A and B are shown apart, each in its own frame.
Chain A
Amino acid sequence: EIVLTQSPGTLSLSPGERATLSCRASQSVSSSYLAWYQQKPGQAPRLLIYGASSRATGIPDRFSGSGSGTDFTLTISRLEPEDFAVYYCQQYGSSPPALTFGGGTKVEIK
């Protein structure tokens, strides 16, 4: 089973700054099956990025995803007040067929 490790655990930044979040897999992941979610307190997660780099419907272009193999990155170009939240990466692997989430990165206001 593939394990996803997200870093850092917490990112303290100010509005307007750039955020770079990392997701590292224990073995190679198909880029087609790497996604990123945002979760705010008391809310369900929201899909931001799928296929490693495709933005989901309605997601602002300040959010971008990149990477391949075992290393993936979510970048928020300029943090808006509403972007302070927890972010999770997720992958789907076929052998065995299973889906896993990373442990999350909290982006907090500095």
Chain B
Amino acid sequence: QITLKESGPTLVKPTQTLTLTCTFSGFSLSTSGVGVGWIRQPPGKALEWLALIYWNDDKRYSPSLKSRLTITKDTSKNQVVLTMTNMDPVDTATYYCAHLRISAEAFDIWGQGTMVTVSS
């Protein structure tokens, strides 16, 4: 059974860097054909994809946020880490990590999400 869980700060100040960790079980990111992504959702708004990382360490970023994002993996810990620099109040959102169904490039299992508020 695949599960994912996001963790990180609930409150960050403007201009700070956000670091979120996705801890997962039921699969390994060292296995061919596996991927994990990050998606966010501001309150009352639509989903927005942020980043993807594949088993071979290939990485993809949202073009509009690429300069602010870094995604990494630690296969020994079964974790994927997302950092986002220069946080702004408009980045207030629920942040989800999710398991990627590689053949379809769709997210078939999602974490519960973690709410991050950006405020001074």
Name A residues whose Cβ lies closer than 8 Å to a Cβ of B.
1, 32-33, 35, 37, 39, 44-47, 50-51, 54, 56-57, 88, 90, 92, 96-104
Contacts and interface: CB of A to CB of B under 8 A. Distances in A.
Chain A CB within 10 A, most for which of B46, B104, B110? B104
B60 A98 contact: yes
Interface of B: 37, 39, 46-49, 52, 60, 62-64, 96, 98, 101, 103-108, 110-113
Nearest to B104: A50
A90 B110 contact: no
16 contacts: A33-B105, A37-B107, A44-B96, A44-B110, A45-B110, A50-B104, A51-B104, A54-B104, A96-B63, A98-B49, A98-B62, A99-B37, A99-B49, A99-B62, A101-B39, A101-B49
Secondary structure class of chain B's binding surface, majority of residues: strand
Given A1-B63, A44-B111, A35 B106 contact: yes
Contacts of B62: 98-99
Contacts of B104: 32-33, 35, 50-51, 54
A97 B106 contact: no
Contacts of B101: 47, 50
A47 B49 contact: no
Contacts of B46: 88, 101-104
B110 A99 contact: no
A56 B99 CA distance: 14
A25 to B, nearest CB: 14
Contacts of A100: 49
A98 B106 contact: no
A103 B42 CA distance: 12
A99 B52 contact: yes
B105 A99 contact: yes
B42 to A, nearest CB: 12
A96 B96 CA distance: 23
B97 to A, nearest CB: 10
Contacts of A90: 47, 49, 106-107
